[in-house]
Amino acid sequence: MGSLFRSEEMALCQLFLQSESAYTCVSELGELGLVQFRDLNPDVNAFQRKFVNEVRRCDEMERKLRYLEREIRKDGIPVLDTGENPEAPMPREMIDLEVKFEKLENELKEVNSNAETLKRNYLELTELKHILKKTQVFFDEAMYPPNLPYDQDAFFDEEQVNLLTDSSLHQLKHIGFVAGVILRERIPAFERMLWRACRGNVFLRQAEIPEPLEDPATGEQVYKSVFIIFFQGDHLKMRVKKICEGFRATMYPCPEAPADRREMAMGVKTRLDDLNTVLSQTQDHRHRVLVSAARNIRAWMMKVWKIKSIYHTLNMFNLDVIQNGLIAECWIPVANLEDVQLALRRGTEKSGSLPAILNRLSTQEAPPTFHRTNKFTKAFQALIDSYGVATYREINPAPYTIITFPFLFAIMFGDLGHGIIMALFGAWMVWREKPLSAKKTDNEIWNIFFGGRYIIFLMGVFSMYTGLIYNDLFSKSLNIFGSSWHANYNETTLKDNKELTLDPGDSMQYDQTPYPFGLDPMWQISNNKINFNNSYKMKISIIFGIVHMMFGVILSVWNHRFFNRPMNIYCEFIPQLLFLFCLFVYLVLLVFHKWVWYGAGGDVGSSPSCAPSILITFINMVLVKAYEEAEPGSPCSPYMYSGQFGIQRFLLIVALICVPWMLCAKPFILYRANKQKQLVMQANGGEGVVEEGNAGASGASGEVVEEHTDMGEVMIHQGIHTIEYVLGSVSHTASYLRLWALSLAHAQLSEVLWGMVLRIGLTFGEGGAGGICMYVMFAFWATLTVAILVLMEGLSAFLHTLRLALVSS
């Protein structure tokens, strides 16, 4: 048997490593990836372990690298992933790495804070610029208030007329003002507060700044408005200032004279230009730093991870003070002991010290389960493991699942067209494996699809096969070999009857031999297609279900033989097999008999009108119905073959006997064996207290005897097992009917899609309009088809339950 059929044989080994070579040896073993270390210091706190400092340093480095990565991603720089696997660096190189990362981090932090300061300055200057612009408008408006009947000619020369110093406007003397910028959302509340607090004695003008400004702290764009408040007197000034601070409006000194304002505006403009240049240079510098970091960041990350894992592993070792070395315990597959030795030798050579010693131990513990998988089998093994990992050296159901899982999926999916799409998708992913796997994405859904690419490919291929057999291509049938049904009605029959049914007994209408491969294409265009299909699909579901379950039960024989438990074969396997056989395989045989025996065109007793329902027959058998005489005058017999009644009774009795057999045989034998053991012990003079091995009491010494002689527990265990098996066999069989249900749903859905969607495009009419309509309809149809594929892909979730039957052993 190959290695995938059973989990690998594992050996517990002890490693003696010298302190100097410990690091390199562990690094080599890590690259090999075949060793599982045991934690020899389980009760030691994480902070008390030997290498906790190194782990902490690695954590720091990782944090810095993550920060760098975040900044890189913020700028949108692509991270180069060459897929290379750098080796773990030596401990002394760790210091170099630390220094490098520290430098990078500090540089980046400095650049960032500089940029922030610059941005703040920029914001202030921009706001000042806006203020200067808007206040000009305010002052102009104040000079020419719209409602007052001023003689405007007198105030034409604005250079000499100034709001605050003009003597003719003496009522505006001692006017102070405050200019500032505030968030637009706060303006209404601000106005109200000003009005209430200053009792209406202040004058507020405001104008919106059209472009949004960037807030330096958060980086988001906000809308602000410029405001100017005119007031008289110092008290109001203080009050206004306090309110402005309360609303977090930034105030700017605005000169009174227009000439000063113009000068200031120009100064602000030049400063803004300068700032822009500096800002862009800062950004460039930051970009350069990040680009150079992005080149190496993947490799650095890998190195740091490797160092960290090496130290974690070293933490699990025991310190051997006598020889100044480290002791490790690990599980190694027996087949790989040589490779591990080689790796150890390589490690000690690198560090140049005494060689490490590998010692094999023997133990009673259960070793871990290890399946050696390649990229193809890995997905299926993961599928099986998700249900439950097999115990050590138990039969592995994975290799059989490689085919049964996609095949059962295909029975439910069964469409040639959809199968082609799925197979192509899977094939594309397999073909472009390397470039696609190098692109590390975080997209969970894509990763799931890509991980299951082989499964998807196989599911597609098998769906093509079942699609051919179901004769379903996007809900249309192919007629490759010529249908076996023919119509030969004359004109009046055709005119008079809306519906015509072909008769299987008439050899002009039915060829008497079926369509050679799959379902006849005639059924796709008939009205009673579903009747025919239902009976067909239900039968195949049950038959495949029984076959699958028998396969699972038979697999368990191998387990029993390997673990040398012949008692299990007689007490569990044989009654299980008999139970399944007597009831369910008999059902399958009835199906086959009905297929062969009953048909049209033959003798009346086996005509279609006389064919008994298998379901009713089976139910009658289990309900122990009495023997039925054929009704006089009717050619039909209630039984399918002579002697059926007797055989059915016999099978039922055998099946019923199997139940107590499963339940009681094993505990009984164990009980007898236990009794004998105790008699032997008593005859030898009795060591210790011997108790009756009856229900509730524990048995003899635990170290020598492996099996539990606790009768109560054995009985319970056996009872659970029996009930689970008996009830499970009935329910699992019925649950295979989901194969029928889902295949029916799929077929109907694709028919609906064709009839309601694509047909509209196809029958639209001639000319250009038809072409356009077809284009639109096809897009619609294709989208829905693929969406249904995805929907049906949820079928695979159902398949998981079908695996249960296999693992029931």
Partner 1 sequence: MGADAIPVAVVTAFFGVVGLVLPFIVGRGPNKGVIQVVLSITAASCWLFWLLAYMHQMNPLIGPQLHNTTVIALQYLWDNNLNLTELESTTDMSSTMEFTSSTMEFTSSTPATA
Footprint of partner 1 on 365-424 (CB under 8 A)? 374, 377, 399-400, 402-404, 407, 411
Dihedral of the alpha carbons of 161, 167, 171, 172, in degrees to the nearest 10: 40
Give the binding range for partner 1 (CB under 8 A) out of 21-29, 39-47, 465-473, 632-640: 465-473
Identify the residue among 38, 50, 271, 539 touching partner 1 (CB under 8 A). 539
By the 8 A CB rule, do 459 and 409 touch? yes
To the nearest whole angstrom, how small is the minimum distance from the Cβ of residue 502 to partner 1?
4
Rule CB under 8 A: say whether 4 interacts with partner 1: yes
Q: Which among 555, 577, 594, 533 is positioned nearest to 743, based on CA atoms?
A: 533
| Near partner 1 in 547-586, by CB under 8 A | 547
Identify the residue among 49, 529, 565, 625 touching partner 1 (CB under 8 A). 529
How far is the C-alpha of 246 from the C-alpha of 603, rounded, in Å? Answer: 104
* Nearer residue to partner 1 within complex by CB, 190 or 515: 515
| Near partner 1 in 149-168, by CB under 8 A | none
| Near partner 1 in 603-642, by CB under 8 A | 608, 611
| Near partner 1 in 740-779, by CB under 8 A | none
Both tokens of 311, joined, read 């130290």
Both tokens of 322, joined, read 């006598």
Rule CB under 8 A: say whether 536 interacts with partner 1: yes
Beta bridge partners of 208: 225
To the nearest whole angstrom, how small is the minimum distance from the Cβ of residue 414 to partner 1?
10
How far is the C-alpha of 479 from the C-alpha of 520, rounded, in Å? Answer: 8
To the nearest whole angstrom, how small is the minimum distance from the Cβ of residue 51 to partner 1?
38
To the nearest whole angstrom, how small is the minimum distance from the Cβ of residue 601 to partner 1?
5
| Near partner 1 in 234-293, by CB under 8 A | none
Question: Residue 227 in 3-state DSSP?
Answer: strand
**H or E element: which one contains 409?**
helix 398-413
Give the binding range for partner 1 (CB under 8 A) out of 319-327, 464-472, 635-643, 701-709: 464-472
Give the binding range for partner 1 (CB under 8 A) out of 73-81, 216-224, 274-282, 537-545: 537-545
Ordered strands of the 203-208 beta sheet: 203-208, 224-232, 175-183, 250-252
How far is the C-alpha of 621 from the C-alpha of 645, rounded, in Å? Answer: 8
* Nearer residue to partner 1 within complex by CB, 502 or 749: 502
* Nearer residue to partner 1 within complex by CB, 122 or 409: 409
Identify the residue among 280, 323, 497, 634 touching partner 1 (CB under 8 A). 497
Give the binding range for partner 1 (CB under 8 A) out of 48-56, 211-219, 541-549, 791-799: 541-549
To the nearest whole angstrom, how small is the minimum distance from the Cβ of residue 599 to partner 1?
3
* Nearer residue to partner 1 within complex by CB, 174 or 561: 561
Rule CB under 8 A: say whether 544 interacts with partner 1: yes
Identify the residue among 36, 309, 526, 637 touching partner 1 (CB under 8 A). 526
Which are the contacts of 226, defined by CB distance < 8 A and separation ≥ 6? 127, 130, 131, 134, 135, 179, 180, 181, 206, 207, 208, 209
Identify the residue among 36, 509, 568, 735 touching partner 1 (CB under 8 A). 509
By the 8 A CB rule, do 34 and 330 touch? no
Identify the residue among 302, 600, 657, 745 touching partner 1 (CB under 8 A). 600
Question: Residue 252 in 3-state DSSP?
Answer: strand
* Nearer residue to partner 1 within complex by CB, 456 or 522: 522
Which are the contacts of 598, defined by CB distance < 8 A and separation ≥ 6? 606, 607, 608, 610, 611
Identify the residue among 16, 247, 392, 485 touching partner 1 (CB under 8 A). 485
* Nearer residue to partner 1 within complex by CB, 359 or 531: 531
Q: Which among 784, 762, 788 is positioned nearest to 775, based on CA atoms?
A: 762
Identify the residue among 84, 151, 338, 496 touching partner 1 (CB under 8 A). 496
Give the binding range for partner 1 (CB under 8 A) out of 121-129, 322-330, 506-514, 747-755: 506-514
Identify the residue among 144, 150, 431, 489 touching partner 1 (CB under 8 A). 489
How far is the C-alpha of 654 from the C-alpha of 569, rounded, in Å? Answer: 18
**H or E element: which one contains 258?**
helix 258-315
Residues 31, 34, 40, 46, CA torsion sign: positive
* Nearer residue to partner 1 within complex by CB, 89 or 504: 504
To the nearest whole angstrom, how small is the minimum distance from the Cβ of residue 508 to partner 1?
10
Tokens 């408005």 belong to residue:
225
* Nearer residue to partner 1 within complex by CB, 348 or 524: 524
To the nearest whole angstrom, how small is the minimum distance from the Cβ of residue 403 to partner 1?
4
> What one-letter code names the amino acid at 724?
E
By the 8 A CB rule, do 329 and 10 touch? no
Q: Which among 496, 567, 485 is positioned nearest to 523, based on CA atoms?
A: 485
Length of the chain: 809
How far is the C-alpha of 359 from the C-alpha of 35, rounded, in Å? Answer: 14
By the 8 A CB rule, do 775 and 762 touch? no
Rule CB under 8 A: say whether 329 interacts with partner 1: no
Question: Residue 478 in 3-state DSSP?
Answer: coil
